[in-house]
Amino acid sequence: MKSSILIDTGPLVTFLATGLEHHGWVCEQWKRLQPPLLTCEPVLTEAAFLLKREGRETDPLFALLERGILRVGLEVEDQLTDLRVLMRRYRDRPMSLADACLVRLSEIHSGSTILTLDADFRIYRRHGNKVISVLMPEH
């Protein structure tokens, strides 16, 4: 089974908005990735909001979805119980719904790696105690 790449909000926005910190690093990673990249609707919501806040258009985000480069990998409604458990476990972080969805995706797709800029993914665990593989810049 091919290893899946799960994409978080930070790298998605940084890829689409030149001039942001880590843009060069994210673009280098992007060149190495095999589509589709899996994500979730909360990540897409955050990305659209942040792009608009940066004064950028959201059309490129939709184009990634239309072209099949990005694919929504889970439905929140289908994962309510597991997402609630994750958000309760990490309430001290506090974990966002987007983060919980990515952790859940990492449980569903064993062997996956999360492309992120968020150091909390070094703390989060899949299946309660298993380290999540992350691809992130050295800070």
Cβ atoms 104, 74 nearer than 8 A: yes
pLDDT per residue, tens digit, the chain (139 aa), is 468 999 999 999 999 998 989 999 999 999 999 999 999 999 999 999 999 999 999 999 999 999 999 999 999 999 999 999 999 999 998 799 999 999 999 999 999 999 999 999 999 999 999 999 999 998 6
Q: Rounded CA gap, 139 and 128, in Å? A: 26
Q: Does domain 5-135 have CATH number 3.40.640.10?
A: no
The pLDDT assigned to 139 comes to 64
Domain boundaries, the chain: 5-135
Name the pTM for this structure. 0.94
114 - beta bridge partners? 6, 134
Give the pLDDT score at 93: 84
Q: What is the pLDDT of residue 94?
A: 79
Question: How high is the pLDDT of residue 3?
Answer: 80
Task: State residue 23's pLDDT score.
Answer: 94
Positive/negative CA dihedral, 28, 29, 35, 39: negative
